[in-house]
Amino acid sequence: MNISFSRLDDTIARFTLGDSSPAFANAFRRTMIGEVPTLAIEEVRIYDNNSALFDEMLAHRLGLIPLTTDLRTYVRMEECSCGGEGCPGCCATYTLSVEGPRTVCSSDLIPADPKTAPVHDTIPIVKLVEDQKVVLEARAVLNIGREHAKWQPTLACGYKSYPVITIDERCDACGMCVDECPRGVLALGSRSVEIVEAKLEDCSLCKLCEKACLAGGIGENPAIHINQDDTRYLFVVESDGSLPVREIMEYALLRIKKKSEDLVDILNDISGGTVHEASS
Amino acid sequence: MIPVRCFTCGKVISTAWVEFKQRRDAGEDPKTILDDLGIERYCCRRMLLTHKEIIDDLIPYQ
């Protein structure tokens, strides 16, 4: 397996996963979405709320705010030494106290640990007028996206197979496929159609060019063929800001490794030690 | 109030609401505002385009 990045910053990554298989590509995607833990507000104690929103709606809006997560400091509640009661090792606490008239923003949420501040400062929570007041205490815990989407670290996280475009010698450069391609992957060369440089990865495998070629009366088989490479995948991973994309990917890969090793152990237990670990 | 995140993909779109509303009310084309704000996908764009703010009508009924 190898990964080569075409773009990588804290919030978005585009990369090619090579020497892989359909099963692994999908496992990787699913692990990044559903198994990488982040912080999100889970419990809210409301002392005062006479705003126009119900307590439940307020708590729901607070839960959706992405929080900067430090996976080295926090552990999941059930794995914590406090035994699931809640301690500074597994919970981040926040206080919020605002009087109207003004709009309550995510920056009004004061974290006890400044490392766990909300990612954005300007998320509006509720609008208050004169004499309205919100006073509350919130507790954020680490959990995974499979439990609730608010713990999902990724936004758009998906992949497609690497496109393989072959143009055979029957191509007469009629240009019908060039006009048809919605992504502008093809261009008219001197004797046949050519792939525009650095545009190949934009191909969405829609095969409109094959249809256009057939419509041009070339016969039973088109002169252009779109195939997919089952060993290479183009990924896009976007983060909500709680974790940098690189950390999401690293955690997901370690998680897959751990899970497959656990599976080998279990199979060994059942079969009496005949399963060997596969090298990756 | 504007939803905190896009219903479909989960991108935080509420941070863009104040600017979007101001510029739309000033008569600018929503397309250019959304492009400026970096809201790319159509799931996120519909969140802002189709939002109707009713918090001011609700305030008397606290």
The residue ranges of every structural domain in chain B are: 14-58
Q: Are strands A12-18 and A2-8 parallel, antiparallel or unpaired?
A: antiparallel
Clarify whether residues A126 and A186 are in a common domain: no
Helix boundaries (H) for chain A: 22-34, 55-63, 176-180, 208-215, 245-271
Contact A124 B59 (CB under 8 A): no
The SS3 of residue A45 is strand
Q: Smallest CA–CA separation between A170 and chain B, in Å? A: 39
* Token pair recorded at residue A253: 């890969």
Q: Which residues of A touch B12 (CB under 8 A)?
A: 66, 119-120, 123, 240-241
Give, for all 280 residues of chain A, the pLDDT tens digit: 899 999 999 899 999 999 999 999 999 999 999 999 999 999 999 999 999 999 999 999 999 999 999 999 898 888 888 877 888 888 999 999 999 899 999 999 999 999 999 999 999 999 999 899 999 999 999 999 999 999 999 999 999 999 999 998 888 888 889 999 999 899 998 888 889 888 899 999 999 999 998 988 888 889 999 999 999 999 999 999 999 999 999 999 999 999 999 999 999 999 887 776 665 5
Clarify whether residues A101 and A180 are in a common domain: no
Clarify whether residues A137 and A246 are in a common domain: no
Determine the residue of chain B that is closest to A106 in CA distance.
B15
Q: Which domain holds residue A23?
A: 1-36+153-161+230-280
- The pLDDT score that the predictor gives to residue A279 is 53
- Residue A266, C-beta contacts closer than 8 angstroms, at least 6 positions apart: none
One-letter amino acid identity for A215? A
Clarify whether residues A157 and A280 are in a common domain: yes
- The pLDDT score that the predictor gives to residue A137 is 95
The dotted CATH code for B14-58 is 1.10.10.60
CB neighbours (10 Å) of residue A280?
10
* Token pair recorded at residue A155: 């936004």
- Whole-angstrom distance, CA of residue B53 vs CA of residue A103: 14
- Whole-angstrom distance, CA of residue A262 vs CA of residue B36: 48
Clarify whether residues A196 and A260 are in a common domain: no
- Whole-angstrom distance, CA of residue A72 vs CA of residue A242: 14
Clarify whether residues A78 and A114 are in a common domain: yes
- Residue A170, C-beta contacts closer than 8 angstroms, at least 6 positions apart: A218, A223
Q: How far is CA A61 from CA A41, A44, A66, A217, A259, in A?
A: 9, 11, 11, 58, 33
- CATH code for the domain in which residue A65 is found: 2.170.120.12
* Token pair recorded at residue A12: 């978005």
* Token pair recorded at residue A272: 């009496």
Clarify whether residues A66 and A97 are in a common domain: yes
Q: Does A124 reach chain B within 8 Å, measured CB to CB? A: yes
Clarify whether residues A193 and A97 are in a common domain: no
Question: Residues A16, A235: contact at Cβ < 8 Å?
Answer: yes
Determine the residue of chain B that is closest to A53 in CA distance.
B62
- The pLDDT score that the predictor gives to residue A19 is 93
Instruction: Residue A185: name the closest of A208, A160, A158 by CA.
Output: A208
Residue A71 CA to its chain's centroid (Å)? 17
- Whole-angstrom distance, CA of residue A280 vs CA of residue A268: 19
Q: How far is CA A111 from CA A139, A238, A278, in A?
A: 10, 25, 45
For chain A, the domain total comes to 3
Question: Residues A155, A131: contact at Cβ < 8 Å?
Answer: no
Contact A156 B58 (CB under 8 A): no
Determine the residue of chain A that is closest to B60 in CA distance.
A52
Q: What is the ipTM of this complex?
A: 0.92
Clarify whether residues A237 and A248 are in a common domain: yes
- The pLDDT score that the predictor gives to residue A238 is 94
Determine the residue of chain A that is closest to B2 in CA distance.
A124
Q: Across the beta sheet with A154-167, what order do the strands follow?
A: A2-8, A12-18, A224-239, A154-167
Clarify whether residues A106 and A185 are in a common domain: no
Contact A156 B61 (CB under 8 A): no
* Token pair recorded at residue A261: 């090793």
The reply to whether omega before A114 is within 30° of 0 (cis) is: no
Clarify whether residues A214 and A279 are in a common domain: no
Q: How far is CA A226 from CA A11, A202, A205, B49, in A?
A: 32, 13, 7, 37
Q: Does A275 reach chain B within 8 Å, measured CB to CB? A: no
Q: Which residues of B touch A122 (CB under 8 A)?
A: 15, 18
Q: In this model, does residue B3 exceed pLDDT 70?
A: yes
Q: Which residues of A touch B41 (CB under 8 A)?
A: 156
Q: Note the pTM of the prediction, 2 decimals.
A: 0.88
Clarify whether residues A138 and A49 are in a common domain: yes
Q: Which of A206, A222, A238 is the last residue of a domain?
A: A222
